[in-house]
Amino acid sequence: MTNESRTYTLPTQSIPSLSLSHHVADLVEVQAFLQSRGIETRNTRIERYIKYLEHAVRGDQIDEAQIFKNTSDPRFQSGFDWRLYLLREAHELMWILKGLKVHIPEGVDEKLQKIVSGCDFAALDTHTESRNTQFELRIASYFCQAGCEVDLSTKTDVIATTEEFAFYVECKRIAGPRGLRENLLKAKSQLIERMPVRHGGKMAYGFIAADVTKAAFSHNGLTWGLTNEHSREIIQEKLVGIADAAERTPVFVDYPELLGCWLQIHIPSLIRHPPAMVTRFSSLAIDNPNLEREAQKAAEIFDLMASVGNRPDPRELPATKMVRRTSVSLPAGTRFQLDDRLLRKFLAGDDSYGKISEDIIAGIIIDGVEHEFSFLEFEMLPKALHTQLREEFAANSESARLALILEMYIRRYPYENGPDLGPV
Query: What is the residue-level pLDDT of the chain in tens, covering all 424 positions?
Result: 344 456 788 899 999 999 999 999 999 999 999 999 999 999 999 999 999 999 999 999 999 989 997 677 777 877 888 999 999 999 999 999 999 999 999 999 999 999 998 889 988 877 789 999 999 999 999 999 999 999 999 999 999 999 999 999 999 999 888 899 999 999 999 999 999 999 999 999 999 999 999 999 987 778 888 899 999 999 999 999 999 999 999 999 999 999 999 999 999 998 988 888 999 999 999 999 999 999 999 999 999 999 998 888 999 999 999 999 988 999 999 999 999 999 999 999 999 999 999 999 999 999 999 999 999 999 989 999 999 999 999 999 999 999 999 999 999 899 988 666 554 4
What is the SS3 assignment for 317? strand
The predicted pLDDT at position 4 comes to 46
CA distance 404 to 160: 60
Answer yes or no: are the C-beta atoms of 357 and 376 closer than 8 Å.
yes
CA distances from 330 to 5, 76, 367, 372 (A): 35, 34, 9, 16
What is the SS3 assignment for 159? strand
The predicted pLDDT at position 5 comes to 53
Closest CA to 415 of 5, 61, 15: 15
Answer yes or no: are the C-beta atoms of 269 and 279 closer than 8 Å.
yes
Answer yes or no: are the C-beta atoms of 96 and 150 closer than 8 Å.
no
Mark out the alpha helices in 217-373 (DSSP H runs): 228-247, 293-306, 340-347
Answer yes or no: are the C-beta atoms of 280 and 267 closer than 8 Å.
yes
Answer yes or no: are the C-beta atoms of 166 and 189 closer than 8 Å.
no
Q: Which residues lie closer than 8 Å to 212 by C-beta, 6 or more apart?
A: 174, 180, 238, 239, 242, 263, 264, 265
Q: State the DSSP H helix or E strand holding residue 75, giving kind and residue range, or none if neither.
A: none
The predicted pLDDT at position 73 comes to 76
Query: Which residue(s) pair with 283 in the sheet?
Result: 264
What is the SS3 assignment for 6? coil
Tell me the pairing of strands 276-287 and 258-271: antiparallel
Answer yes or no: are the C-beta atoms of 36 and 331 closer than 8 Å.
no
What is the SS3 assignment for 174? coil
pTM over 0.85? The answer is yes
The predicted pLDDT at position 75 comes to 79
Answer yes or no: are the C-beta atoms of 280 and 235 closer than 8 Å.
yes
Q: State the DSSP H helix or E strand holding residue 151, giving kind and residue range, or none if neither.
A: strand 149-151
- Give the domain ranges of the chain: 103-310, 335-412
Answer yes or no: are the C-beta atoms of 55 and 62 closer than 8 Å.
yes
Please calculate the CA angle 251-177-131 and round it to the nearest 5 degrees.
90
Amino acid in the structure at residue 336? F
How much is the CA Rg of the chain, to the nearest whole Å?
25
Answer yes or no: are the C-beta atoms of 223 and 234 closer than 8 Å.
yes
CA distance 48 to 416: 35
CA distance 12 to 164: 45
Tell me the pairing of strands 360-366 and 335-338: antiparallel
Adjacency order of strands within the sheet including 360-366 = 335-338, 360-366, 369-374
DSSP letters, 325-361, are: P------TT-EEEE-HHHHHHHHTT-------TT-EE
CB atoms closer than 10 angstroms to residue 73: 12
Q: Is 176 exposed, middle or buried (CB count within 10 Å of its CB: 0-12, 13-18, 19+)?
A: exposed
CA distance 252 to 187: 11
Answer yes or no: are the C-beta atoms of 17 and 276 closer than 8 Å.
yes
